[in-house]
Structure 1
């Protein structure tokens, strides 16, 4: 008798979460003992509602579109679950003869993955539960990086390079770009890749790992205005004061779900009110995690690998683990998949280490740029400017 498998998406989607889905589907088709490969249509809550679709019934034409489709093709959620729900999920897995379960998500989803694994153990059923990492924030522990981050990094870097070009052309204001990142500043930090060595790139980057000092911020802006009149600042949405409180009060918060106030607008207003200089803010928001136009080819391929490796691990008997990536030292970028015990990543956040943040706490180090650059894949588009050329002398 054949057994079945199930995949669940959790948390905020990314530009490559469907690539992991594709990798899992492609791999699981190799195993004849798998009858149906179900997808929960709408996250963990969909498992409780038993809303399943058999992915083996989807045409290859549709499946081939997955790696290039943003967000989640099967739907995702942030359903709050307690032990009774986890126990009920275990019972539903038995009912549907599901032997292999894959949770594709970030910190919260890995917590769910671990708790479903424990629930299956409590009822004494041999059900393999494996996590597939996904996050634009790059804040999952142990793994070198997570699928989703490379594309988000490319988006912010490319966007900041374009904004920098605009500000250089008409240098009349301070432009503040607000990047996603509650407690981890990896996305904001990635904007440093916009620097082309010719003036395109952020002048300052502010991360949530270090307390934000308003006076220091204004002094830095004021000093920079003596050098140039067009400035680009990148700030994480999660900037905090010394006491740990956000610099802008959250608009809405329930558990881990936080809707921050407009940090970019707040900083731009500070410049206007305190320095009397023009300023404006930009907030890419969802565009930064959904853009296929700036999808990283490296990110996409590693997302496919993550999905496939999860299936391989489960079919070889692994359970209670998450697929991660280990970077291989060398001049040419290379990373290989590895398995991480799920309890090592459940609800833990990996923030930017000190060695990646400059001593002034308003930028990043060369070490970070070298670490991050390979993850965005193909180089950013280069632009041309003639503003640095000497003027032609008048001749009769």
Structure 2
């Protein structure tokens, strides 16, 4: 059993890369399409497959192919960035441009400004040519060199634009909505019988893309958050019954909040979307917070932006341009409710929301390396004619996965996992919360 990636057709052009064709772990060599990596490495899965004769679920190994579908000297590639900002976007853009130019010497690479809007001529954004000289320093800055936007455009119009500009490869850097969008573009391309490869590079600071080890920018996010949590602790401990509330990003998954709390273990409570916690009554959050103040005289609370939405029952559901539910502000709400509840003792509350500072930061060293390697592997797959796939790490190995497989559901924290248990041990918050 394996995830089946799509190919545009036979690969007939020799790769300009001078690599070995001999397989071996210590040799940088071409990868054959038949090479697969097992998804579930557990002994249980091994025993099951051995007993039943079933083939284990396998993923296609990424890397350079000896034969290419596209003739490099006649190939035009485009890069688009969509959705919210995230550390490392510029690193991926730079990596794609450098790989296309220095590895393959392709004809031209163009940048699509302001997300999918840039593929709608009516928006008037135009294109920008991307050269090594133009992108060589952009990794030093956060945000996106190309600009971004939310919301969809007409798929037919975007495909018309790609065909009219003789684009052979489209690299889309974005999260769940972006990946679904580029897959829809790929589907329309197939219907028309065109030969354009579409590639997704998963980008979500929340780390909620399913199946993959992690998305780029995630490590930078809690790296940047760590000193903020340290300073928030200083604020809380500097006052009698001082409380610091820090709201971090995490619309549907609490990976940033949980990881930041582990990275800077001054946090006493972590509230995430996966938890259905209550505020009042026995085993409620207020009870736990009061016990903390009684014993330690201060508390640091990290709350993910999507946490506690069950507390807003009855409010209207509003969606953003990308179709994501716009959550109520749990940070402001929590500050208000704590103030209203603790009238019997003096408290001091400091509320901090560093979300836009974190997501606009440049990538740290670890993410910079990861982004560059993602870019290179994306380029190798595209030049070989693979389409409608994402590139990422699974079990610490780079692989190609069909876009449809990673967009079926969002990855969430398992509240019975070792990871969450580590958070509970670090914070000391009671098990009964959530």
RMSD of aligned C-alpha atoms?
2.5
The equivalent residue for 1:79 is 151
Instruction: Give the distance between the partners of 2:130 and 2:79, measured in 1 at CA.
Output: 10
| Kept in 2: contact 1:108–1:347 (CA 8 A) | no
> Which residues of structure 1 form unaligned runs of 5+?
328-334, 359-363, 371-396
Corresponding residue to 1:346 among 398, 407, 412:
407
The one-character-per-residue Cα deviations of 1:179-201 (angstroms, maximum 9, x if unpaired) are: 111111111112222445xxxx1
Deviations 1:329-363 (A, max 9, x none): xxxxxx332111111123631111233488xxxxx
Extract unaligned runs of 5+ from structure 2. 1-72, 427-434
The equivalent residue for 2:47 is: none
* Matched residues, number: 344
Alignment correspondent of 1:336: 397
Q: Residue 389 of structure 1 corresponds to which residue in structure 2?
A: none
Distance in 2 (alpha carbons) for counterparts of 1:72 and 1:44: 14
Kept in 1, the 8 Å contact 2:320–2:326? The answer is no
Conservation of the 8 A alpha-carbon contact between 1:355 and 1:367: no
Task: Write out aligned runs for 1:1-396 (5 A).
Answer: 2-30=74-102, 34-49=106-121, 51-56=126-131, 60=133, 62-81=134-153, 85-196=154-265, 201-215=266-280, 216-240=284-308, 244=310, 246=312, 253-254=319-320, 256-276=323-343, 277-292=347-362, 295-327=363-395, 335-346=396-407, 348-356=409-417, 364-366=420-422
Per-residue deviation, 1:67: 1.5
Give the match's secondary structure for 2:358.
helix
- Secondary structure of 2:168's counterpart equals strand
CA deviation after TM superposition for structure 1 residue 34, in Å: 2.1
> Take 1:275 and 1:23, find their aligned partners in 2: how far apart are those partners?
52
Does the C-alpha gap of structure 1 residues 347 and 11 become closer, same or farther in structure 2, counting only changes over 3 Å? farther
> What CA distance in whole angstroms lies between the structure 1 residues aligned with 2:103 and 2:298?
58
**Mean Cα deviation higher: 10-19 or 165-174:** 165-174
Instruction: State the match for 1:332 in structure 2.
Output: none
Q: Deviations over 1:42-77 (max 9, x none)?
A: 111111227211102xx62x4222222111110111
Distance 1:268 1:282, change over 3 A: same
For the residues of structure 1 that align with 2:158 and 2:264, how far apart are their CA atoms?
A: 48
- Match of 2:319, SS? strand
